[in-house]
Amino acid sequence: MSHAFDCLEIIPDYILDEADKTENIRGLIKDLVDLYPACSHALEVLDQETPPVF
């Protein structure tokens, strides 16, 4: 579980960076999906052209 929190902790920094870090975020989420397959919906949402707003 600590690995998941480490990955999730990095994502806000990537979002705030002026450079496009989409592939970095996707890689982190892919790592999480590999560890926790039940989270695969997160990767599907990221890959959508216009993610839904919750």
For 52, residues 6+ apart whose C-beta sits below 8 A from its C-beta are 45
Whether residue 25 contacts residue 45, with contact meaning beta carbons closer than 8 Å, is answered with no
Q: How many angstroms separate the CA atoms of 30 and 40, rounded?
A: 8
Q: What is the pLDDT of residues 8-38, one digit of tens each?
A: 898 899 889 889 888 998 999 998 899 899 9
Q: How many angstroms separate the CA atoms of 27 and 33, rounded?
A: 10
For 50, residues 6+ apart whose C-beta sits below 8 A from its C-beta are none
Quick one: average pLDDT of 2-9?
83
In the prediction, which pLDDT does 42 show? 87
pTM over 0.85: no
